[in-house]
Amino acid sequence: MQNNKFYSMLGLCMKAGRLTSGEVGCEAAIKGKKAKLIIVAEDASENTKTKFANSAKFYAVDLITYGNKSELGYALGKGERSVVVVTDPGFAAKFKEMSVN
């Protein structure tokens, strides 16, 4: 794994109920204006990357590309995940800070 702190924080965010995973759930969170940050896996399909980049731009939500699908899923205790959405501003700020380092 690239950064254990990032993935540990992802698991904590999920347990706190401040994270949505999977394309359908993430789309709903973005359209419902609950999304504070979109995290897309580096190995997600080009279609998925484009779709969420467009959504991020349209709804003015920050987007970062980080990790791969299996690592994101493993951190959440689920199968592979191409995209996750953070719905808490505090967690979102921390993830943005961690992805730069």
pLDDT digits (tens, 9 = 90+) for 81-100: 999 999 999 999 999 988 87
Q: Domains along the chain?
A: 4-100 (3.30.1330.30)
Report for 56-65, 68-77, 92-101: range of highest mean pLDDT: 56-65
Model's pTM, two decimal places? 0.92
* DSSP characters over 2-71: --HHHHHHHHHHHHTT-EEESHHHHHHHHHTT--SEEEE-TTS-HHHHHHHHHHHHHHT-EEEE-S-HHH
For residue 100, the model assigns a pLDDT of 76
pLDDT digits (tens, 9 = 90+) for 35-55: 999 999 999 999 999 999 999
